[in-house]
Each structure stands twice: as C-alpha cells, then as structure tokens.
C-alpha cells in the first residue's frame, strides 16, 4: 500500500468513516456516514483509483485493491506506538531537566601536556567544571580554588618560579627560597576549625552564587582532600577557566578584613614570564573584587591589597589572585559567606563587563 494511500486512510479513520471490521471497499462506511454516502463513495472511488494506479508501479505492494482489516489495525497500532514513544521521550527529557545539577558538570583531570604541568608534583586528583543553566549562561568560567586541603602536601616541595629564581617576598615560604611547600595545611580559626574547612564552605557558597549569576564554575576542591598541589590547581585553571580565585583566610587574629595578594612591585619578578604578560590583569581582577566586596559592606583591610610572591601568581596565564576573605577571628557564618559571595559576583561582573 502506497504512503499516500495510507495517509488518506488515516484521514478517513480520523473522520470516523472507516470501521474496524469488514473493511472491503463496499464497507468503508460507519452508521453515521450512510446518510452522506455520495460524498463517501466519491472518496472511496478516489482511493480505489489511486490504488489501481499504484499496483502497476509499485511491484512490492499487494496486487489486491482491498483495504484489509490487518492493514487498518497496523496503521492504528503504528500510530499508537509512535505516540507512546514520543510521550516516553518527553518524560525522560523533563526528568533530566528537573535534575540537571549532576548532569551539567564535567570532571577535569590534569593534562601533562599543558604548559607548566611538569612543575607539579601532586596531580592525581580532579577538579569539576559546573555549567550555568543555558537561559542565563554567560559563557565565562570562574575557577574557585578552596585553599589548602591536600593530604601529604607539606611533605612535597615544588619550584617557586618556573625560571628557578628565588622568591622576592616572604609569606608561607621565606623570601629567597627557590622551593616551596606543595600545599600547606593553612591556619586554624580561633574556634579550632581548620582553615581548609572554612575555605571549602566559603567556596561552595561562591559557587552557588556564581552559577545563579550565569557563570560556569570550575571547582578545584569540594571535599576535605584533593590531590592537586598549588601548581596543578593553577595549571588546570589556566586551561579551563577565564580567571582564577583562590579563597583563603589570613593567619592574623584581629579580624583585619578582606584583601587580595597583589603582584610585588619588583622589576625582576614582573619581568619573569608568565608574570610579565599577566600581572596587570591580576591586579585589575583583585581591585574589581575588592570594590565588589566593599559595595556589599564587607570590611576591607587598608587599600585591599598586600603584595606577596605566590606560586599561584608565578604560574598563572589567566587573571588570577589569592583572595583573603578574613582571618582567624573572622565570622564565617552562612549569612556572612552569602554577603561575601554577593561581593565576589559583583566584582566578577565589573571585571568582565
């Protein structure tokens, strides 16, 4: 039976003209169609004529000009199966969309072909890239790096600078050093909570706020331990994200306020690659974030910047800063971290506008 004929029969079926028994040409009527037999006969005549013409050209079709009961049932069953498949497909899609938080992410492993990857010593862990919902997605990825949280990180040393030169400032590693702790344990809040625990809490709050604002978020750490040293974290961010924010708390205990670790004003350091190419972007990112935090009434330490020679900055090829959002005495309640996250979003908006 030709496709056009099947289509006509479906039309007849939908009109209530076909019945499901005795479907010979002389019986293609229902009780309500008897009164309009002339119109019906015209339609049947057209079907019969078309079928007769099709018999000569379509050798694979049945030579019979009758519409059998089996054929009518086949049409009905096929239509029902297609409708059921469409319904199932729609339900599956809706289910995926209703719980897309797990589906809309990607696990990121270290690629050892990436630039500076060979300087890393701890890199078996993975980061996770989360995608913003398409209707609000900006197509910009922010790396949020919860500081510390690498078991065994203090037992390994990595090179401070890619060119082997010595650090130009102090910090967790002394000025003049050429090797630094791969990942330090961090400080401890005055209530006894490890800094790594608090930076993780703050980072998760920032992730939520950024995703809601339409930014993709690369999360370096989402548990107590990730086997990625500071160089590995930086290299992954360099290749996946558009900017890199490491979240930390300072070791002071006077609630000194928020600041970022700026690029030291040292000619040799600022002439070293990749710092030479990117230090101005680092500075602008830091200042935008401080402005965003200030606009949300966060306490700012001084002018919001303390220059420190960091491993992160020394290997970054994207705008990158260490953001110290408080110190050991600072409040890290949900309310405070929500306000901090709002400030980070405002700063990011200003940076990418």
pLDDT tens column, 156-191: 999 999 999 999 999 999 999 999 999 999 999 999
Same domain? For 62 and 113 the reply is no
pLDDT at 220: 98
pLDDT tens column, 320-332: 999 999 999 999 9
Note whether 175 and 168 are within 8 A (CB). yes
Same domain? For 270 and 288 the reply is yes
In this prediction, residues 283-309 reach a mean pLDDT of 98
Residue recorded with tokens 């969309």:
97
Domain with 70 in it: 3-98
Same domain? For 94 and 113 the reply is no
Q: Per the structure, how many domains does the chain have?
A: 2
pLDDT at 104: 87
What pTM, to 2 d.p., does this model score?
A: 0.72
pLDDT, greater one: 342 or 15: 342
Same domain? For 57 and 181 the reply is no
Among 98, 129, 150, where does a domain finish? 98
In this prediction, residues 54-67 reach a mean pLDDT of 39
pLDDT at 103: 54
CATH number (domain holding residue 280): 3.40.630.40
Same domain? For 121 and 90 the reply is no
Among 98, 115, 141, where does a domain finish? 98
pLDDT at 53: 40
Among 50, 67, 98, where does a domain finish? 98
Same domain? For 87 and 204 the reply is no
Same domain? For 191 and 300 the reply is yes
Same domain? For 175 and 260 the reply is yes
Same domain? For 113 and 217 the reply is yes
Same domain? For 60 and 110 the reply is no
Same domain? For 192 and 90 the reply is no
Same domain? For 227 and 140 the reply is yes
């Amino acid at each position: 039976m030709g496709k056009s004929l099947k289509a006509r029969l479906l039309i007849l079926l939908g009109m209530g003209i076909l019945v499901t028994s005795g479907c010979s040409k002389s019986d293609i009527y229902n009780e309500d169609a008897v009164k309009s037999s002339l119109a019906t006969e015209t339609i049947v005549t057209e079907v019969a004529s078309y079928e007769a013409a099709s018999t000569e050209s379509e050798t694979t079709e049945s030579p019979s000009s009758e519409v059998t009961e089996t054929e009518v049932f086949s049409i009905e069953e096929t239509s029902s199966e297609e409708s059921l498949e469409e319904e199932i497909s729609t339900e599956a899609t809706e289910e995926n969309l209703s719980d897309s938080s797990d589906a809309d992410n990607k696990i990121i492993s270290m690629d050892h072909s990436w630039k500076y990857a060979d300087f890393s010593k701890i890199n078996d862990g993975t980061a996770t890239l989360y995608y913003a919902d398409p209707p609000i997605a900006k197509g910009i990825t922010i790396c949020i790096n919860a500081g510390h949280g690498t078991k065994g990180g203090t037992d390994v040393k990595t090179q401070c600078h890619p060119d082997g030169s010595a650090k130009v400032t102090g910090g967790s590693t002394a000025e003049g050093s050429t090797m630094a702790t791969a990942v330090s344990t961090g400080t401890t809040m005055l209530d006894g909570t490890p800094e790594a625990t608090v930076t993780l809490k703050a980072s998760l709050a920032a992730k939520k706020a950024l995703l809601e604002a339409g930014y993709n978020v690369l999360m370096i750490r989402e548990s107590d331990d990730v086997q990625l040293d500071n160089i590995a974290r930086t290299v992954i961010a360099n290749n996946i994200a558009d900017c890199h924010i490491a979240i930390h708390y300072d070791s002071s205990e006077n609630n000194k306020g928020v600041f970022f670790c700026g690029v030291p004003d040292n000619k040799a350091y600022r002439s070293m690659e990749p710092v030479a190419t990117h230090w101005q972007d680092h500075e602008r990112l830091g200042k935008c974030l401080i402005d965003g935090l200030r606009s949300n009434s966060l306490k700012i330490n001084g002018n919001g910047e303390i220059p420190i020679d960091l491993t992160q900055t020394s290997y970054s090829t994207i705008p990158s800063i260490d953001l110290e959002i408080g110190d050991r005495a600072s409040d890290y309640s949900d309310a405070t971290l929500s306000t901090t996250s709002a400030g980070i979003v405002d700063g990011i908006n200003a940076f990418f506008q």
